[in-house]
Structures are given as structure tokens and as C-alpha cells.
Amino acid sequence: MEGSTASQNMVAQGEKDMQEEKIQFATYSQWCTLTKEKKTQVIAQTADAIESIKADVAKSTATIERLTAEITGHQEEIERLVLEQDNMTQVRSKENADFKAEQKDYEESIDALGRALSTLQKQAYDREQAGSKKEALLDMPVSGCHREVKEAIAAFISRKPEVDGYEFQSQGLITMLSEFKDKFVLEKAELEKLEFEKKAAAEQTLAGLKDEQEAAQKATDKKAALKSKKLQQKAKLQENLETTKTTKASDEDYLKETTATCDQKAADFEARQKLRVEELETVNKAIDVMSSASVSGTEKKQLAKSFIQVGRATSLAALRSHKVDKDLKAKLLGFLQSEAERLHSKVLAKLVAPTAVSEAMENIRDTLEGVIKKLEAVAADEHTKREYCKKEIKKNKATRADKRAAIDELEADIDMLEASVKQLTEEVAALGDDLVALDQSVANATDIRGKEKAKNNETVTDAKAAQAAVTQALAMLKEFYEKAGQATALVQTSAAQVSDQPAIFDAPYQGMGGQSGGVLGLLEVIAADFARLEAETSSEEEAGQTEYENFLKESRLNKKQMELDVKHKKETSAEQTAEIQEKSNELLEVQEELAAALKVWEVLQKECLTSQKAEEERREENIESLKKALDMLADS
């Protein structure tokens, strides 16, 4: 009866353990499903992130290529400007050398004429003829004079006849030489004025070329700096790309390993369930007496996881004052009238009446010269305005280019920082999920370990108690069978003496203990089973506890590292967010400065780029007509 009860208890415990193992595996199977789904989603998100980073790398590469092309263009522009400056310097040096040579010629001529005039003025008196005076005149110190002066002197001497007594006749020559000297002095002054204007114009042009060169160099330096930042950004993106790829590969490996482990556990579960069924069937067949507890399975752990106008020198030859010639005056009036009509010039038309009533040529000349000076002054003012406009337009162009480059640079920095903040936020969120999953895994493992430990302790206790009971039962049965054997032996001996006694057993009764598969044999098998159950359960408990402690240690280390990563990423994100705000404010300021520069550009377009060509051409034609009128007076 006791053996039957034990058998029933053993079967009931086995069925209970099998049901608990099913519940345990259902929880583990659910964890496997959720973990695989989450990790698959994370891998998909990482794949999207990889494509996004690749797009950012391509964008950075395109920007770097554009900046490289622009830098090359600026460098070629700088080389062109340097070459143009060198060429202008060489041309200016040649012009200056030609000027110095011509200036020296004028200085020598003026000096020679001065010495000749001094000699003639000393000889301005009559004397007796002492020989040919022509040779004396030719021997005057006029070396170094222009060829036209020598030819004029020679022509003058050839017109003077020889006389018996010498009478001073060189006053006309003195007058002619004085006029030449005055003319050369004026021409020298005009030459020096022209040289001064050429020099100023060349210096202004060179300064403009240097300004352009500096602007191009500045643009080159800024774009080179921006290119350097873009290269750093690209390098960081590529580093992030490799890190993300590594993370994806790690997640894929984890998913693969988790899938394999879960599949293996599922197979093991099926095998264990089959084994348990067979075990229960065997116990039902083999054990009808004793009850016992059955072993439960072990649990498995999980781990949560982008930026000269050169003025034409105009000199007028000095005109000598004389009375107005009526024919010349009529000719001059006709010229002014026709030019005024041809050019539709109010300036020339207004000169007709003053010229008609003027009685002195000098007055007409003064009037014409005064008008010319006024027109030239207007032209000079216009020239100054053009130079101012040219300078301001160049300056505004450089300012707009600088601001656009600064905007490109700031926008690139902001894009890069925003991308970094976005990535950090995603990483912090992922780490937060991992921390929650890790804590849940620890909690689950702790709960499972507690239940497993309690179950194992209960099994060991039951096994020890069962062994003690079986040992006691064996002792009692052995003692009983020994006594029973002796008792039946005596009875059999005395019965043998009665001859007419009916047939009855003639061997001593040894009890059921001696039979093969009897009670004693069954109890000895049960005792061995309980001893093996105690040993196996104790070994599994020790292994499970060691595995649990290792899991807790690894989880604590992982959690500490993840918490440090979250802290660092949050601090970096906060710093970059503040930097984004600073750069955004700076971007707004630069955009406002660019807008102001564009407004200045609109004003410059209205004031400087409006066509004044027709007015300038009319002014130049008026000046040319007035100079021709002066030439008519000079030729009279």
C-alpha cells in the first residue's frame, strides 16, 4: 500500500514538473520572440541610418569637390592678376624711361637756348666789319638744341646778306629763340604733367589689381578652411558609418546567436518533454509502491542587448595775344555755330554771342579756355565718381562673397551639429531601452533562479527523506523475513512424522523478499534512484547558482558602462545644442549683413551703373570742338 502511494506521488510530481517546465519554456519562448522582433527592428533602423550617413558622406564629397574647383579658380585668378601687375610694371618702367629721356632732351635744349640768348644779347650792338659774321653766329653755344632750332638759326643766317661794315641784325633771332625756349618750357611742363597722370593712373590700377588679388586670396583661404572642415566632417561621418556598420553586424550576430539558442532550447524542450513522458510511463510500469518527486529542468539566461581710367592729357600751346581778325572771327563763329547745330550742344551755342561781340582775340581765347576747363572739371568729377563707384562695387562684391561663404560655413556647421545631436539622441534612447531590458532580464533571471533554487532544495530534501524511509523499510523487511524463515522451518520438521497428513508445502516459507523482483529488490532500486536524484539535483543547483552570479556580475558591468555612455552622450548633446543656438544666432547676423550689402548693391546699381555714355560722349565732343576753335586762333 505504501509502495502504491509512493508510485502515485511520483507520477503526480512528474506531471507537475512537466507542466511547470512547459510554463517556464512558454515564458522563455515569448522572450525569444520579443527579443528577435526588437533586434530585427533595431537592425532595420541601423540599416536606414547607414543609408542616411552614406547620403551625408556623398553630400560632403560633392561640397568638397565644389570647393576644390572654386579654390582652383581663385588660384588661377591670382596668377592672372600677378602676371597683369608684372606686365603693367614693365610697361610703366619703359614709359618712365622714355619720359626721362625726353625730359632730359627738353632740359638740354632749354639750357642751350638760354646760353645762346645770353651770347646774342651780349653782342646786341653795331661794329666795324672784321670778317664774316655768319660763322660767328653759327659758332654760338647752341649745342644740345632740338634739330628744328638749329635749322631755324641756319635759315635765319642764310637770309642775312654780307655788308662792308657790321650792323647788329640779330634781334629777330633773339625773339625766335625766346619763343622756342618758352615753347619748350611749356611742352616740358605738359610732358611732366602727363607723366604724373600716367604714374597716378598706373598706381591706381596696380592698387586695384592688388585689391582683387587680396580678395581672391581671402576667398581662397576661407574656402580652404571650409574645405578642411568639410573633410573633417566627412571623416567623422565615415567613422560613424564604420561604427554603425560594426554595430549592425554585431546586432546581426547577436540575432543569429539568439535565434540559434532559442531554436536549440525549443528542440531541447521537446526532447525533455518526450523524456518526461517516457519516464512517467516507466515509473507507472516499474513502481507501484513508493512515491517520489521528479527533477525539473534548468533555466537559461538571456542578455538584453553637415563660399582705371587713364585721363588723356590735353595741353594747349600758348597763343600770343593780338587783335581780332574779322575773317578769322567770322570763320570761328561759323565753326561754333555749325558744331553747336551738329552736336545739338547748348554749351557751344551759348559761346556764339560772346564771341561775336568780343573785340580782342585774347578775350575769345580766355572764354574758350574757361569753358574747356569747366567741361574738363566736370569730366574729372565724373571720373572721380566712376573710380569711387568702381571701388565701392568691388568692395561690395567682396563683402557679399565673404558673407555668402560665411553663411555656407555656418550652415554646414549647423547641419553637422544637428546630425550629431540627432544621432546622440537616438543612441541615448537606444541605451535607455537597453538599460530597461537589462534590468528586466536581471529581474527575470533573479525570479527564475529563486524558483529553481527553491525547487532544487525541495527535491534534495524529499530525496533525502525518501532515502531514509526506504532504508528503514528495508531493515524492517529483512528482520521480518529472517524471523519468518526460522518459524516455518520448525513446523515443517514435525509434520514430516505424520504419514497420513494431506499434502502441504514441504519447504520453509522465506517470504516475498527472496523472489526475483520482490519487495526487497524494488526497495533497493528505489533507494538508488533517490540517491542519484539527490546528487544530480545538487550538481545542477551549484551550476545554476554559478551561472546566475556570473550573469549578475556581467550585467552590473554592462549597466555601469551604459549609464556612463548615456551621461557622456547627454552632456555632448547639450553642448552641441548650445553651439547650434550660438551658430544660428551668428547665421542670422551674417544673413542680415548680407541683406544690408545687397541693399547697398541696389543703390550702387542705380547710382553707378546707369548709362552715362551718351552724356560723356557729348562732353568729349564739345571739348574737342572747343580745342579745334583754339587751334584756329593759334594758327591765325
Three-state SS string over 104-122 comes to HHHHHHHHHHHHHHHHHHH
* Per-residue pLDDT at 477 exceeds 90: no
| Mean pLDDT (whole number) for 227-237 | 87
- So what's the pLDDT on residue 580? 92
- So what's the pLDDT on residue 97? 93
* Per-residue pLDDT at 144 exceeds 80: no
* Per-residue pLDDT at 82 exceeds 90: yes
> Cα(47)–Cα(60) distance, rounded to whole angstroms?
20
Burial category of 187 from C-beta neighbours within 10 Å (exposed 0-12, middle 13-18, buried 19 and up): middle
- So what's the pLDDT on residue 585? 92
- So what's the pLDDT on residue 15? 78
- So what's the pLDDT on residue 293? 40
* Per-residue pLDDT at 270 exceeds 50: yes
What's the length of the chain? 636
Burial category of 127 from C-beta neighbours within 10 Å (exposed 0-12, middle 13-18, buried 19 and up): exposed
DSSP annotation of 139 reads T
Contacts of 439 (CB under 8 A, 6+ apart): 559
Q: What is the pLDDT of residues 542-600, one digit of tens each?
A: 999 999 999 888 888 888 888 888 988 899 999 999 999 999 999 999 999 899 888 88
Residue 251 is placed in which grid cell? 546586432
Residue 342 is placed in which grid cell? 551738329
| Mean pLDDT (whole number) for 66-80 | 89
Question: In this structure, which amino acid lies at residue 133?
Answer: K
Residue 279 is placed in which grid cell? 519516464
> Cα(500)–Cα(505) distance, rounded to whole angstroms?
15
- Cβ atoms of 218 and 17 within 8 Å: the answer is no
Q: What is the pLDDT of residues 295-330, one digit of tens each?
A: 333 333 332 333 233 333 333 333 333 444 667 667
Contacts of 604 (CB under 8 A, 6+ apart): 389, 392, 393, 396
620 compared with 110, residue with greater pLDDT:
110
Percent of the chain surpassing pLDDT 90:
12
618 compared with 531, residue with greater pLDDT:
531
Q: 10 Å Cβ neighbour count for 209?
A: 17
160-169, 207-216, 286-295, 404-413: least confidently modelled range: 286-295
* Per-residue pLDDT at 1 exceeds 80: no
| Mean pLDDT (whole number) for 106-132 | 71
- So what's the pLDDT on residue 475? 82
> Cα(558)–Cα(554) distance, rounded to whole angstroms?
6
- So what's the pLDDT on residue 83? 93
Nearest-CA neighbor of 149 among 88, 105, 207, 191?
A: 105
577 compared with 345, residue with greater pLDDT:
577
Question: In this structure, which amino acid lies at residue 528?
Answer: A
* Per-residue pLDDT at 99 exceeds 60: yes
Instruction: Name the pLDDT band for 10 (thresholds 50, 70, 90).
Output: low
- So what's the pLDDT on residue 98? 92
115-124, 258-267, 437-446: least confidently modelled range: 115-124
> Cα(159)–Cα(461) distance, rounded to whole angstroms?
161
* Per-residue pLDDT at 354 exceeds 80: no
Sign of CA dihedral 626, 628, 629, 634: positive
| Mean pLDDT (whole number) for 208-218 | 85
615 compared with 577, residue with greater pLDDT:
577
Cα 623–Cα 624–Cα 625 angle in degrees, nearest 5? 90
* Per-residue pLDDT at 246 exceeds 90: no
pTM listed for this prediction: 0.40
Nearest-CA neighbor of 223 among 417, 415, 407, 53?
A: 407
- So what's the pLDDT on residue 183? 86
Query: Is residue 127 classed as helix, strand or coil in its secondary structure?
Result: strand
* Per-residue pLDDT at 134 exceeds 70: no
- So what's the pLDDT on residue 230? 85
246 compared with 139, residue with greater pLDDT:
246
- Cβ atoms of 60 and 233 within 8 Å: the answer is yes
- So what's the pLDDT on residue 471? 85
Nearest-CA neighbor of 301 among 90, 548, 135, 595?
A: 548
Residue 246 is placed in which grid cell? 560594426
* Per-residue pLDDT at 93 exceeds 90: yes
Q: What is the pLDDT of residues 421-474, one digit of tens each?
A: 999 999 999 999 999 999 998 999 999 989 999 999 998 898 888 888 888 888
261-270, 359-368, 479-488, 500-509: least confidently modelled range: 500-509
